[in-house]
Amino acid sequence: MHSDPGWAAATQQFQQALGDGWSKAMQAISKAGTASANGHSIPHLSFSPDKLAALQQAYLKEAAELWNHGLAGVASGDKRFASPDWGSNPVAAFSAATYLLNGRTLLGLVEATDTDPKTKARLRFAVEQWMAASAPSNFLALNAEAQRKAIETRGESIAKGIQNLLNDLQQGYVSMTDESQFEVGRNVATTEGAVVFENELMQLIEYKPSTAKVYERPYLVVPPCINKFYILDLQPENSLVKYLVDQGHRTFVVSWRNPDQTLQDKGWDDYVGEGPVEAIRVVREIAGSKQINALGFCVGGTLLGTALAVLAARGEKPVASATFLTTLLDFTETGVLDLFIDEHFVQYRELQMGQRGLLKGQELASTFSFLRPNDLVWNYVVGNYLKGETPPAFDLLYWNSDSTNLPGPMYAWYLRNTYLENNLTKPGKVTVCGEKIDLGKLDMPVYVYGSREDHIVPIGSAYASVNHLPGKKRFVMGASGHIAGVINPPAKKKRSYWTNDKLPDVHADWLAGATEHPGSWWSDWSGWLKPLAGKQVPAPKRYGKGTAYQPIEPAPGRYVKAKA
C-alpha cells in the first residue's frame, strides 16, 4: 500500500470521480426508463436501495485497491488474460483488471434491479454483449500479447491481420476455421450413398449398407433445415450416419435445399409436406416396408413431430418408432432465444417476410454465434486480426460456417406458432397440410435425448416432450452442449449420459433419480432401437427401387453444396 500523501490525495480524488460517475449513470438509467425505441417501451428501472448501496460501496473499495495495487498484475481465471504478457505490462494489467471490475459491477447492477425476470434477463444479456465487445483484449492498443507478437514478427502479424480482415470483410463473416482445408464430399460428408429422390426442398439420400444383412425396417433421419445435414456425417469416426449403417440399418437422410429467391414463398406446410411426409412415403416405397423408424434432430425433430401428427390426423401410422434429439416440441421455456422473441419482434418479421422473402443464412448464423460471443466471435477477432493467425482446421466449425437460408414465410410461421404461442402443444390449435394436429396422437415408442449444457434447447425443454407423447417413452440426458452432446461416438469413450426409467413431470425430478453411465448415449439408443427394427434380411444390392427411384447422383448430392 502506498503511504505517500500525494498518492492518497489522488486516490481520494479518484474515488470522488467514481462516485460522481456512478450518480450520473444512475440518472441516465432513470431517464432511459421512460424512453422508447422502435415501438418497444423500455421499462422504468428501479433498484433496491440496500443492494445499490452495497454494490456502490464494494465498487469503490475494489477500485481503490486496484488503484493502489495497479502494478500487481491480473488476478483472474479469464482465459483472455491468461498470457504472462498481461501481467508483465502495467498498462495492460490495469486495463484488464478495471474491465473485469466494471463487468462484475454492471452484472451486479442488473441483479439489483427490481423488475420482471424476462426484462432482467434481457438486461443481463445486453451487459454480457457489451462486456464481450469492450474487452481490452479486443484492441491492439491494449492487448499486450498481440503487441509482443507484433514486435517479435517486426509487424508481420499486423500485416497478416489486416489481410485476414479484408478477406473476412469480402466473405461477410469472421472466419472460425481454415475453410480451404475442407470440401463437402471430399473430406466431410463422405459416407457412400446416392440421391434416390428429390423435390424443390430436399434430396433423399440412401446409404450403401456395410453389413451383409440389414434390418427390414429402414431408418429415416430428418436433420435441421437451418443447417446442413452433414453435421451427422462429418468424419467416418464421428458420423452418426455411418454408425447407423454399420449397425445394420438401411439408412436414408433428408438433405435440405439451401433456398434461393425461387423458394422465397415456401412456408411451414411446405417444409412438412415436401420434407418428412414425402420422405416417409418414398422410403416406405423403396424398402417395401409398411413401417419405418425415424429420427429428427433439433428443428428437424420439430418438423418430424409435426409431420407425424399430420399423418396421424389422416389415420396413418407409418412410423414404428421416433427418436427426437435436442428437439423442442414444447416451447414453454426456450432459454436465451426467448429474450429476442416477443410480439413486436414477430410482427416485424411477419411484415418483413411473412408473405415472401429470405432470411439470410449469415444473419441466423450470427445470431447463434452471439449467444456465445467470447468463444464464437471475439476469440476469432483477436486471433485473426490482432495476432494475424490463421484459425486451425476444424470440421465442426467448418460446418458451423456453412450457413443456409430460410424462406421468410416458413420462418415467420415458426416464430409465431412455436416460440411465441407454443401452439404445437395445443391439440387442434394449428392446421398443417390441411390437418388439425395433435401431438397426443403420436403413440409410437419414442426415444427423447437432451444435452445437459444445451443453450439452444434447454434440457428441461427437451424433457418436456415426454409430457405430450402418450406412447412408451425413454428419456436420456447426455453431457455437453447442443452439438457436442449429440456427436459423441462410443469409440471415443468420452463424456457420460444419464438414464431413469421413471418419467415424472419435470426434468429436475427425473434427474434426482437418474443414474450416470460413462461413455456415449449412442450405445443405449442402439440397444433401444434394435427390437423395433424388425428381422434381418439380405442387404439390397443397389440403390433405390425399379425405374421410379433410380440413383440421381452420388451422395452427398448437390443441394448440400449450395452456398448461402
Averaged pLDDT, 428-445 = 98
pLDDT of residue 368: 87
Averaged pLDDT, 3-22 = 45
Averaged pLDDT, 531-554 = 96
Q: How far apart are CA 81 and CA 513, in angstroms?
A: 40
Is residue 185 included in any domain, yes or no? no
Is residue 321 included in any domain, yes or no? yes
Please check whether residues 145 and 272 belong to one and the same domain: no
For the chain, the average pLDDT equals 91
pLDDT of residue 73: 57
Please check whether residues 138 and 239 belong to one and the same domain: no
Please check whether residues 20 and 129 belong to one and the same domain: yes
Please check whether residues 147 and 197 belong to one and the same domain: no
Is residue 15 included in any domain, yes or no? yes
Please check whether residues 120 and 222 belong to one and the same domain: no
Please check whether residues 307 and 203 belong to one and the same domain: yes
Please check whether residues 146 and 291 belong to one and the same domain: no
pLDDT of residue 36: 36
What is the CATH classification number for the domain harbouring 353?
3.40.50.1820
Query: Considering only 60-64, 125-129, 378-382, 392-396, which range has the smallest mean pLDDT?
Result: 60-64
Q: Is the pLDDT of residue 98 over 70?
A: yes
Q: Is the pLDDT of residue 292 over 70?
A: yes
Is residue 384 included in any domain, yes or no? no
Annotated active-site residue in 298, 309, 437, 469: 298
pLDDT of residue 457: 97
Please check whether residues 440 and 302 belong to one and the same domain: yes
Helix (H) or strand (E) holding 377: none
Percent of the chain with pLDDT over 90: 77
pLDDT of residue 19: 46
Please check whether residues 333 and 470 belong to one and the same domain: yes
Please check whether residues 121 and 202 belong to one and the same domain: no
Is residue 433 within 8 Å of 269, Cβ to Cβ?
A: yes
Please tell me the pTM assigned to this model: 0.88
Q: Is the peptide bond before 556 cis (omega within 30 degrees of 0)?
A: yes
Is residue 394 included in any domain, yes or no? no
Where does a domain end: 126, 152, 178?
152
Per-residue CA distances from 286 to 482, 543, 546, 554 (Å): 33, 9, 9, 17
Residue-wise pLDDT tens digits, 188-209: 999 999 999 999 999 999 999 9
Is residue 174 included in any domain, yes or no? no
Question: Higher model confidence: residue 24 or residue 458?
Answer: 458
Cβ neighbourhood burial of 315 (10 Å; 0-12, 13-18, 19+): exposed
Averaged pLDDT, 440-448 = 98
What is the number of other CB atoms lying within 10 angstroms of the CB of residue 118?
11
What's the CA angle centered on 308, arms 305 and 313, to 5 degrees?
Answer: 125
Q: Is the pLDDT of residue 287 over 80?
A: yes
Where does a domain end: 123, 152, 181?
152
Averaged pLDDT, 141-149 = 96
Residue-wise pLDDT tens digits, 245-279: 999 999 999 999 999 999 999 999 999 999 999 99
Q: Which residues form the domain of 13?
A: 5-152
Averaged pLDDT, 159-173 = 94
Q: Is the pLDDT of residue 16 over 60?
A: no
Number of domains in the chain: 2
Question: Higher model confidence: residue 548 or residue 32?
Answer: 548
Q: Is the pLDDT of residue 29 over 60?
A: no
Nearest to 55 by CA among 5, 99, 101: 101
HSE-up of residue 142 (Cα within 13 Å, Cβ side): 16
pLDDT of residue 21: 45
Q: Is the pLDDT of residue 44 over 80?
A: no
Residue-wise pLDDT tens digits, 451-482: 999 999 999 999 999 999 999 999 999 999 99
Where does a domain end: 152, 175, 202?
152
Please check whether residues 410 and 467 belong to one and the same domain: yes
Q: How sure is the predictor about 406, in pLDDT bands with cuts at 50, 70 and 90? A: very high
Please check whether residues 83 and 203 belong to one and the same domain: no
Residue-wise pLDDT tens digits, 327-364: 999 999 998 888 889 999 999 999 999 999 999 998 88
Is residue 342 included in any domain, yes or no? yes
Query: Considering only 6-10, 450-454, 503-507, which range has the smallest mean pLDDT?
Result: 6-10
- 298 an active-site residue? yes
pLDDT of residue 30: 41
Q: Is the pLDDT of residue 11 over 60?
A: no
Helix (H) or strand (E) holding 90: helix 90-112
Is residue 232 included in any domain, yes or no? yes
Question: Which residues, in sequence order, are CB contacts of 5 under 8 Å at separation 6+?
Answer: none
